[in-house]
Structures are given as C-alpha cells and as structure tokens.
Amino acid sequence: MNNKNFCIIAFESTHDAIETKNILEEHIDIEMIRTPSEIPANCGLSIKFNPIDYEEIVRWLFSDANDVMNKKIYCFQFNDGIQNLKLRN
C-alpha cells in the first residue's frame, strides 16, 4: 500500500488493534503500523488502509462482529506536498 493518501484506525489498546486486524485482514488489504505521532492515541499500533476501502472498513468496524468500542479513523491527504489530517468518525 504505497498511496500518498491513506487512512489510519487508531485504538485505545493493543488488544483492540490486534483483534480488529484479525477481523479486517481476511477481507481488506490493511497494514499494521506504529501510530503516527500526529494522532492522539493510547495505543502504539494502528491499522493503515486505502481510503477507497473506507466504506467497507466502516461496515466491519461498526458491525455486530466487532466489539472494539474505542477506535477512531483519521485520513491523511496530500495536496501539493501539504499534509492534511482529518478525523473521519
């Protein structure tokens, strides 16, 4: 996943990050990364994904199959070399 624009799911615990990774990686191309310093989170692990998959990610994150409660999605967009960070949920 080498897109300049990408999204991050940030978590409050490592357990939540790993549980979500195990659910999502069966269905969507994701990557477990260190949480970027721009994102306020209590967990050092985050999930990176392509913004194209945002709607599908949201369906999985907020489905009954996922009991992880404390998660936030941030999207990084780059325009003319300038980074823009948005909280999406």
CA 20 to CA 44: how far, in whole Å?
14
pLDDT at residue 83, as a whole number: 64
Domain spans of the chain, in order of start: 6-87
**71 or 19: which carries more pLDDT confidence?**
19
Decide yes or no: CATH 2.60.120 for domain 6-87.
no
Question: CB count, 10 Å around CB of 18?
Answer: 16
Provide mean pLDDT across the span 45-72.
Answer: 83
Provide mean pLDDT across the span 7-34.
Answer: 92
